[in-house]
Amino acid sequence: MPIGFRINNRAKAAPKELVDAFARLPVANVSDAMSRMTAAGPALRPMHASGGMAGVALTVKTRPGDNLMLHKAIDMAVPGDVIVVDAGGDLTNALMGELMLAYAVKKGVSGFVLNCAIRDADAFVHTNLPTFAAGVTHRGPYKDGPGEINVPIAIDGMVVEPGDIMIGDSDGVLCIPFADAEETLAKTQAKQDAETKQMRAIAEGTNDRSWVDAALKKLGCCFPEN
């Protein structure tokens, strides 16, 4: 198939029970469980009103300013998909607006991660389908290609492969690789349990803060004598 005009089926997809488990966890804790090595950058911000996102990645790679393959990806989407678009981060033209959003809701899409701009921003707030994008502009897109669907893509160094788990909340978005999902879930749940215990200690006034002085002393910090 020619590079630039390729549409693939997904070879794999994360199971619903794993997606649902990650949906209950903060993105920040999942990121910590992944050694803070993965991020899509601070430019991708929520365009919806509130709420988190979790689903299976359906990937799109397109040239900046063109949404032909994004249209096709929405046609192909199944309920629970998160459509992830690498459009180079260009904000000159919006690749998605109110009409495409309404169609995606009808298709059961769980969310969008768009390394590009949107338009009809009020519709994204009112519809409240989880959508993370890099910006907003009134200028519309072109529909000429090239582009590819269900290929590996990267957003600010974060690699996303078709079938991976995509999550998002007010802290941003994160891709959890298919092969690492179960191990990452276990590590995140352990961190979540530890934080729950720490929050309880804070509320009870029994939180141990001795580690702060210990860390400073190890670094040779000078303390006041009194």
- Which residues contact residue 157 at a Cβ distance below 8 angstroms, ignoring those fewer than 6 apart? 39, 41
Q: Is residue 226 part of a domain?
A: no
106-129 burial code (b ≥16 CB/10 A, e <16): eeebbbbbbbbbbbbbebbeebeb
Evaluate whether 58 touches 149 at the Cβ level (below 8 Å).
Answer: yes
Known binding residue 100? Answer is yes
What pLDDT sits at residue 168? 98
- Beta pairing partners, 131: 112
Same domain, 57 and 82: yes
pLDDT (0 to 100) of residue 114: 98
Phi, psi for 214 (deg, rounded to 5): -60, -40
| 101 annotated as a binding-site residue | no
- Report residues of the chain scoring pLDDT below 70: 1
When divided into structural domains, the chain yields a total of 2
pLDDT tens by residue, 79-89: 999 999 999 99
DSSP notation for 92-108: SSEEE-HHHHHHHHHHT
Q: What's the pLDDT score for residue 225?
A: 85
pLDDT at 82: 98
Determine the residue type at 137: T
Q: What is the SS3 assignment for 179? A: helix
Q: Does residue 146 have a cis peptide bond before it, meaning omega lies within 30 degrees of 0?
A: yes
* Same structural domain, 84 and 32: yes
Residue 89 in marked binding region: no
pLDDT digit string, tens, across residues 91-131: 999 999 999 999 999 999 999 999 999 999 999 999 999 99
Q: Which domain holds residue 196?
A: 187-219
User: Is 120 labelled as part of a ligand binding site?
Assistant: yes
Pick the closest to residue 198 from 189, 188, 187, 206 (CA basis). 206
- Residues whose CB is less than 8 angstroms from the CB of residue 49 and which lie 6 or more positions away in sequence, other chains included: 125, 126, 128
pTM: predicted TM-score of the whole model, two decimal places: 0.94
Does the residue 224 lie in any domain? Answer: no
Inside any domain, residue 1? no
Looking at the fold, whether 133 and 199 belong to one and the same domain comes out as no
- Examine residue 225 and state whether it is found in any structural domain, yes or no: no
Question: 97: how many CB neighbours lie within 10 A of its CB?
Answer: 18
C-beta separation of 42 from 10 below 8 A:
no
Across the strands, what pairs with 159?
154
Supply the pLDDT for residue 1: 67
